[in-house]
């Protein structure tokens, strides 16, 4: 048995044998925290796979054009359902069999594949491909990617396979349906060894992932975070389940492009979408030292809970209000600093009206000076990938000074009047603000709420 001195000697030898990088990470972070306090977090990369486009420029131009990419669901199984519309990925834009080998596709869900494709674009734009040989960079790069729902059909098909025999069950079945696998697969592919985080908070997932990544960098857990959300659960069972909740649009099956209509008086439910959007967030000084492109800045992050109902927000809108107030407080801002709100507004009769009420309450006398829109009219509701996709459009709006429109918004009911809605056509971002700053709302079943405060980069 070793005595206390021998034990201490072994511990000392072990510490001295660690790689130099592991001994210096904490020291450098502590010094930075002492010298500058809160770390600024900027956006240095963006990537997207979505119904409106499968690269950033294409998606942004489609949004600005005011086009809807919602289409008709084809097949006998859909013909029997009340809702027969959705916003899907154009197979002419993305062919997964060309992007991945057959072996790779066996190991991943469709949503994971979308996340990996979007991440590749984001990392390329950020010029951040350190490689496993750069141990310091890999250890200081983390991943935070979420998924709202797993592929329900994968579960159903695997259950049918089990009835035929145990050996018919794929050994990759469990990894395919774990919500943390987009983050895990990305981390493995690029060798990122910082925080490996996954969020699953229903329709607030993507915004929570970005906000959590923002705080990881702020608190010094990483210098770079690859973050966002992915979703691919459009299937007969998925559509049927949401139909039973009376959540989906059913009045526009013969006119799919008119079915998603946030804030409009004829809205009757949301339209499901699929895809992924990925951000590369980076500590400002780290980005400046390497000359990285800077698309925008994350300024604040607010969270709240409704504590009210499984699927409906609080009628008084206090859940949404708290999230927005906390995002502003986190960013050290006031409502007078905000020029645009990208609303969660999914095109449901109850939810859109409550969010409008919360926005009016927050802005008070400044209500008429803030623009409001929801891009879900163009791409539907991507559930766990909604907040991050829409946050991408907010970054682009701040960068280019153009406000994305709400497609299919023609008439607003009295309970939502009083706001400046950007309807059907994009508008220039006007105002007397020194800096373009926006709020991005995302709310999820279970009463979970997130709000991101995003601004153009300013030295």
From first to last of its 459 residues, the chain has per-residue pLDDT tens of: 344 333 333 333 333 333 332 333 333 333 333 334 689 999 999 999 999 999 999 999 999 999 999 999 999 999 999 999 999 999 889 999 999 999 999 999 999 999 999 999 999 999 999 987 799 999 999 999 999 999 999 999 999 999 999 999 999 999 999 999 999 999 999 999 999 999 999 999 999 999 999 999 999 999 999 999 999 999 999 999 999 999 999 999 999 999 999 999 999 999 999 999 999 999 999 999 999 999 999 999 999 999 888 877 888 889 999 999 999 999 999 999 999 999 999 999 999 999 999 999 999 999 999 999 999 999 999 999 999 999 999 999 999 999 999 999 999 988 889 999 999 999 999 877 789 999 999 999 999 999 999 999 998
According to the model, what pLDDT value does residue 375 have? 98
- 389, 342 in Cβ contact below 8 A? no
Q: In the structure encoding, which two tokens stand for residue 170, read together?
A: 């794929």
| Known catalytic membership, residue 10 | no
Q: What is the pLDDT of residue 130?
A: 93
Number of CB atoms found within 10 A of residue 7's CB = 11
Characterize 259-297 residue by residue with b for buried, 16 or more Cβ atoms within 10 angstroms of its Cβ, and e for exposed: bbbbbbebbbbbbbbbbbbbbbbbbbebbeeeebebbbb
Q: Looking at residue 337, what DSSP letter applies? A: G
Which residues, including other chains, have CB under 8 Å from residue 174's CB and lie 6 or more apart?
Answer: none
Question: Quick one: pLDDT at residue 35?
Answer: 39
Q: What are phi and psi of 8, to 5 degrees?
A: -65, -35
Three-state secondary-structure class, residue 3: coil
User: In this predicted structure, what is the pLDDT of residue 6?
Assistant: 37
Res 389: pLDDT:
98
For 449, phi then psi, to 5°, come to -130, 140
φ, ψ for residue 62 (rounded to 5)? -65, -45
Please check whether residue 227 is in contact with residue 281, taking contact to mean a CB–CB distance below 8 angstroms. yes
Cα separations in angstroms, 231 against 63, 235, 291, 356: 19, 12, 32, 26
What is the pLDDT at residue 120? 98
Residue among 203, 233, 398, 453 flagged as catalytic = 203
**CATH fold group of domain 42-455:** Peroxisomal Thiolase; Chain A, domain 1 (3.40.47)
Per-residue pLDDT at 1:
35
**What pLDDT, on a 0 to 100 scale, did the predictor assign at position 315?**
84
* Integer Cα distance of 177 and 168 in angstroms: 17
pTM as predicted: 0.91
116, 189 contact by CB (below 8 A): yes
Instruction: Give the span between the Cα atoms of 44 and 267, in whole angstroms.
Output: 36
The predicted pLDDT at position 308 comes to 86
Half-sphere exposure at residue 77, Cβ-oriented, CA atoms within 13 angstroms: 8
Contact 276, 230 (CB under 8 A): yes
Please give the Cα distance from 429 to 265 (Å, whole number). 26
């Amino acid at each position: 048995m070793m005595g206390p001195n021998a034990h201490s000697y072994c511990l000392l030898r072990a510490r001295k044998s660690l790689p130099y990088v592991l001994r210096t990470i904490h020291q450098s972070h502590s010094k930075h925290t002492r010298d500058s306090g809160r770390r600024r977090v900027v956006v240095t990369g963006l990537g997207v796979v979505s119904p409106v486009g499968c690269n950033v420029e294409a998606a942004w131009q489609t949004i600005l054009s005011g086009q809807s990419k919602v289409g008709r669901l084809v097949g006998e199984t859909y013909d029997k359902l009340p809702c027969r519309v959705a916003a899907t990925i154009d197979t002419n834009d993305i062919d997964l069999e060309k992007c991945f080998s057959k072996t790779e596709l066996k190991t991943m869900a469709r949503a994971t594949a979308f996340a990996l494709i979007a991440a590749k674009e984001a990392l390329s734009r950020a010029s951040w491909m350190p490689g496993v040989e750069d141990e310091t960079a890999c250890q200081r790069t983390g991943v935070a990617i979420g998924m709202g729902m797993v592929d329900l059909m994968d579960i159903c098909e695997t259950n049918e396979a089990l009835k035929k025999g145990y050996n018919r069950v794929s050994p990759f079945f469990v990894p395919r349906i774990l919500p943390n696998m987009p983050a895990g697969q990305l981390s493995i592919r690029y060798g990122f060894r910082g925080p490996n985080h996954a969020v699953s908070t229903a329709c607030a997932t993507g915004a929570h992932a970005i906000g959590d990544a923002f705080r990881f960098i702020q608190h010094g857990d990483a210098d770079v975070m690859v973050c966002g959300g992915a979703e691919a659960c459009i299937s007969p069972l998925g559509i049927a389940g949401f139909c039973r909740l009376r959540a989906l649009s059913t009045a526009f099956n013969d006119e799919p492009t008119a079915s998603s209509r946030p804030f409009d008086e004829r809205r009757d439910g949301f339209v499901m979408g699929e895809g992924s959007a990925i951000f590369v967030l980076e500590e400002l000084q780290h980005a400046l030292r390497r000359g990285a492109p800077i698309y925008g800045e994350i300024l604040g992050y607010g969270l709240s809970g409704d504590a009210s109902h499984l699927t409906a927000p609080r009628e008084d809108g206090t859940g949404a209000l708290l999230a927005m107030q906390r995002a502003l407080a986190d960013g050290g801002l006031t409502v007078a600093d905000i020029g645009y709100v990208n609303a969660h507004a999914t095109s449901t009769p109850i939810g859109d009206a409550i969010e409008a009420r919360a926005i009016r309450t927050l802005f008070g006398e400044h209500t008429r000076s803030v623009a409001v829109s929801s891009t879900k009219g163009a791409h539907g509701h991507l559930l766990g990938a909604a907040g991050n996709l829409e946050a991408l459009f907010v970054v682009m709006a701040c960068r280019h000074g153009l406000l994305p429109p709400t497609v299919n918004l023609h008439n607003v009911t009295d309970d939502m009047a009083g706001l400046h809605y950007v309807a059907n056509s994009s508008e220039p971002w006007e105002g007397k603000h020194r800096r373009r700053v926006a709020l991005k709302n995302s709310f999820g079943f279970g009463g979970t709420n997130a709000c991101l405060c995003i601004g153009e980069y300013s030295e």
